[in-house]
Structure 1
């Protein structure tokens, strides 16, 4: 099991650094300290190991969203917390980062879309925020969903070349700008744009 995890991590590093198309089985096996034959014991080919990287990345993203939902006092706070947690995940976890990139590789087909997974998390939390009466009456849930998805995916794309785009400070600035527009003052005062983990 340890060898399999080492191979997944080595593959994630190779895919993130060189792209799926450029990374080779030899690159991955060498980085993991495993022979190509040892790699093939666990994975039939490069496509299979890429699928394993994506699967693990999806599990990490789902767990991050689930933890944010269970730890926050409102769905709007959960959305803020999830955005911070996913930014931290992408900054610090090579498997999560590579899994996101693999879903956008033009040279391969993917059964997963981590962007779609995140979009569904946003949609769920915005819908629940509406049900909880968290939003101002003139705020369109669809517009809020679009704004949060576009901003966070944009920050992730910018963060690939400059990690400052995925810092807690950048996300907190986004939420400080957005919160006064989307929820009444008596509700906004109870929300933490830096995420509840920062308290």
Structure 2
């Protein structure tokens, strides 16, 4: 049992070290030696757990997926005022916070956009799918503005979501969240009915103030 716990800790340390090095240097420039040094283990110990950089990158991406899934589970079902639109807005703050605070999530998104790395985990695709599902539900519930289709709304929200990576690195503190609030204040009234947009904005922003 002690040996298994030690192995699990070593693997965890390697995944985090790999995320840090990938985020700093990119997939191509990251080296096994740099990752093993960052984790405080030998290259031999690294190879005991992972075949190489590609398997480390996959572990980073899979860990990020689990983190995002756990966060989505906490957000709950699209019920209450604004329903799916409230969840959609809330999830954007969650993703922004993870990008700013979780190096594994940040590295995974960088890897998925790295042309030198053939990612097997489409993080952006997962976000697009989730946004599409929520906006389709909003459309069925009659929450979208007249003339706005769930498909058009999804394209707009996806563009916003992709920009969260840059927004997360604007500056430390609450500034990125405040910028996201201002963005939603402009975007949401364009895709939702006036009454629904107002209700969602009030509830979502009240939630952010209590964080």
TM-score, structure 1 length as denominator?
A: 0.90
Q: Is the 8 A contact 2:96 2:168 kept in 1?
A: no
Mapping for residues 86-105 of structure 1, pairs under 5 Å: 86-105=95-114
Match of 2:179 in 1: 170
Q: Is the 8 A contact 1:84 1:195 kept in 2?
A: no
Report how far residue 195 of structure 1 moved.
6.5
SS of the residue corresponding to residue 167 of structure 1 reads helix
C-alpha distance in 1 between matches for 2:206 and 2:152: 22
Change (3 A) 1:120 1:184: same
Q: 2:61 aligned with 1:61, yes or no?
A: no
TM-score, structure 2 length as denominator?
A: 0.86
Match of 1:35 in 2: 42
Gaps of 5+ in 1: none
C-alpha distance in 2 between matches for 1:160 and 1:177: 19
Match of 1:129 in 2: 138
Gaps of 5+ in 2: 1-7
C-alpha distance in 1 between matches for 2:16 and 2:136: 36
For each residue in 1:28-68, what CA deviation from the matched residue of structure 2 results, as whole angstroms up to 9, or x when unmatched? 11111111111111111111111100111112122223332
Match of 1:21 in 2: 28
Q: How many residues align?
A: 198
Q: 2:107 aligned with 1:107, yes or no?
A: no
